[in-house]
Structure 1
Amino acid sequence: MPFIDLETNLPASKFPEDFLKRLCTTLAAALGKPEDRMNLVVKADLPMMIAGSCSPCVLMSVSAIGVTDTAEKNKEHSAKIFQFLKGEFGLSDERILILFYPLEPWQIGKKGTPCRSVYIFTKKNNIQFDHKKMTLFDGYQYGEEFGKINVLRKLPAIKDGDFCLAESVAIMMYLAEKFHTPDHWYPADLQKRARVNEYLSWQHSSIRIHGSRILWFNLLIPKAMGVEVPKEKIDNAVEDFDGSLKLFEMKFLQDKPFIVGDQISLADLVAIVEIMQPVGAGMDVFENRPKLKAWKDRVREEIGAELFDEAHRALLSLQEDVKTMDPKRMDPLKPKVLKYFLS
């Protein structure tokens, strides 16, 4: 899932309507990635200087899994990208700078369950935001800059002017209030809001933790770290997750279309991204659960199939992505991960 940022001091008028599409096609071919996995941001009219000169220039960063981790690969990518950019803007080699960053699947914040819920909520409600991509493997979250935003060192986190806020549930509640999103997300009605809060308070120690364990036990720990997980731990995680799903259907969903009633709420949004976690490890959690599957289909329809699929695309590609990972890159994180999940 490549992430491309192109910054330039060229005016926006220099970018024809089909520029993003052609750039996407070029980069996808250069990196050997499908076009529907590409993520691009283009920023024009910026005050910029490269090599001590403010003459027209382009700075591009390319972050991707498995294809930007060696000098040889990046040299090959650079040649193709330079050819495209020079042809588009008539710039010399000296006025184009490309930075390559290798990613691993766990480094993409969008994959993280809480990040997915906030991402979907903001996109669905047309809340404008500057999406900052973080490579957790590089330890950016432990640096001074991020510490000023979130001393907890976790994602997601937001900065709204001078106001900083962490924790996905708190963030969505804040955004719902500030931007006056449709009432059904976080109802003003006292009892409906209490039902939303009830689920959000329960899920942390049930569906969220058990679903995460399945993802780590079945995929990330054995495949990305090369560490065998005892069968007993895997079986216990599946049993706990199954029990949580039964409680979810019986207590929270019952025979209603959504958790609070006839309309989707923050509770449904948080629930679906948590329940999707094991799907990333190849477990069909909706098999033989017709009520749960029907609810998932309704949530997907309410969110919008395109947005729902976009937000989960990285999660659902994990099984393929881990095949190109170097287990040694997990070494800095391995002690913490193994202590948390296997001790």
Structure 2
Amino acid sequence: MAVILAARRTAVCPRGGAFAQLRIEDLAAPVLRAVLADADMPAARVDEVILANALGAGGNPARRAALLAGLSEGVAGLTIDRQCAGGLDAIVLARALVDSGAAEVVLAGGAESYSRRPLRAMMGPDGQAMPYDQAPFTPWPERDPEMTEAAAALAERLGVTAKAQADWAVASHARARAVADWPEIVPLEGVARDAFTRAMTPALAARARPLVGTITAATAAVAADAAAFVLVVSDRVAAGRGMRILAGVTLGGNPEEPGLVPVAATAAALERAGIGPADLAMAEVMEAYAVQAMGCVAGAGLPMGSVNRSGGALARGHPIGASGAILAVRLFHGLAQGHGYGLAAIAAAGGLGTALVVARSGA
């Protein structure tokens, strides 16, 4: 059985902030080194690095990060793109490599520099460049909504009011601010706490800039820069240490309503792990939008007391390729002081959902 032996991340900084000058590999390499140090794992033992990235310009950032981190030149590095779900999917893939025997020590996670994302354009039929911001996620433009528009449509369908979304965001910030120390964070550029977390109040949330429908700047996660990685090893290498990976599931669903696909992925992952929602000691659910998180928590039947106990992405920001891995890092450290089951769940553009179920010793 694959085991997560160590897990670390940078702070999350909104684009244009403290990490604005850092390349993808500049964000990732210090985290890779910290994870290996935490596990007392020699760099020479690493078989592979899997890095999720959604906005970069190619060039295999996983390879660049591995080299900058001082890993063996024999580590090829694998970069994947599953958009928001990519960081969690990297861990699911690492588990598959370890469980199959194809690898024994894998660094997996994600890194995103929203600040240094490339300007993008595709060539039109007439040979003229056509700039774009959101890449196409389906072959049908009419079934490929902009993400904030999709969130607004979901809120309308579920009957979730602007106030209910704002209340969720206020609570997310409050829980994050209540945390005194963040041992999971690798200090970088002098930043050791998530930079966006603030004293959000209902009055401030009510004054937030409207985006689409009931979605506001307070109830949508800000674009951000960050990196997060875990060390996935075989149980032989773990030797009784770490956090066991019980199940990992990625599913596709309706591309017009991507926010709720994690509900099905969560149900499938819990079933494979042989547990139910009530058994969870901790659940990290992505808050790309308040309504998306609310819909997933309700749809999956998750106990509210276990969900995002130290705040979520509304209080941090959304570094797309890294966001799923951040959820797993939070689980690793949140369950470190006891026994129990944990869940990480995230939605992605195009109608994707990924869920990971883990357990600490004794569970």
Give the TM-score of the pair, scaled to structure 1.
0.26
Compare relative contact order (CA 8 Å, sep 6+) and give the higher one, 1 or 2. Answer: 2
Q: Which structure has the greater CA radius of gyration?
A: 1
Q: Which structure carries more helix by proportion? A: 1
Give the TM-score of the pair, scaled to structure 2.
0.25
